[in-house]
Amino acid sequence: MADISQELDRIAEQFAVKVGLAKGEVVNALMDLVKGKTAEESLEILAGVNIQAAMEIKLAGAFSMYEAGVVSMLKNTYTTIAIPESVLRTILDLTKASISSEVTGRLSKVSLQSIIDGIATGKSPSEVIAAIDDIMPRVDTLVNTAFSQFSNTAKNIMAEKLPPETKFIYIGAYDSKTRDACVEKIQFGERTRAEIIGRFGDLNNEIFNCRHGWEEMSSSPKDQGYNPEKFNA
């Protein structure tokens, strides 16, 4: 597997930008809608607005980008077995739902509350958006985590279907930024699924902003991105 962590990072960053733009548009539009109203009057008006639906429409392109990232990740994953498309689609839908629950579900609720509070305290739209940002988690981290969750689930399913003697390697960058848990997995070397589960419990990476992953070993581990020697930049 070629190292596509930078590509996935770019998608996560672009997704975050799109969320920021959509959030700004929605907040400004809603504050214009209730301009001159009291907080109580605004609450009655905004209660009838489906903020989540508006966010979902505005972020349709962002979720398409996420799907494209997953496709690219699969294309760059070495394996000798196939997983049914229906299974991959189920995993994809689950990870998209984990993003959506935050950036369309929770964000909509936080936005409504922040707008009402902002009206009651005389805040400007930019101040309301800043208040929302203080509460919400980083979107790029949410997206990167979803990529890891998809990859981990898919690879655990792949590994279960392969012959027991199949060897796996932990691929990805090995440099000054590599966390200790990933160093341990890299240094574990070429191992079977049973050996990896016996040591680590599963074939997952470290999930949060992780640049690594277990992968079936090909005849050319180096071309997969396997770097057992530390690179000091």
pLDDT digits (tens, 9 = 90+) for 210-220: 989 999 999 99
Q: How far apart are CA 165 and CA 107, in angstroms?
A: 46
> What does pTM read for this prediction?
0.90
Q: How far apart are CA 161 and CA 8, in angstroms?
A: 27
* Count of C-beta atoms within a 10 Å radius of residue 111: 25
Residue 1: the pLDDT is 40
Contact 14, 143 (CB under 8 A): no
The H-assigned helical ranges of 101-206 are 107-121, 125-135, 139-161, 180-187, 193-200
Q: How confident is the model at residue 108 (pLDDT cuts 50, 70, 90)?
A: very high
Q: 76-102: per-residue pLDDT in tens? A: 999 999 999 999 999 999 999 999 999
Residue 209: the pLDDT is 86
Percent of the chain at pLDDT > 90 equals: 91
* pLDDT over 70 (residue 158): yes
**Regarding predicted confidence, which is higher, 209 or 132?**
132
Residue 233: the pLDDT is 55
* pLDDT over 80 (residue 28): yes
Q: 175-191: per-residue pLDDT in tens? A: 999 999 999 999 999 99
Q: How far apart are CA 123 and CA 133, in angstroms?
A: 15
Average pLDDT value for residue range 15-42: 95
Residue 3: the pLDDT is 65
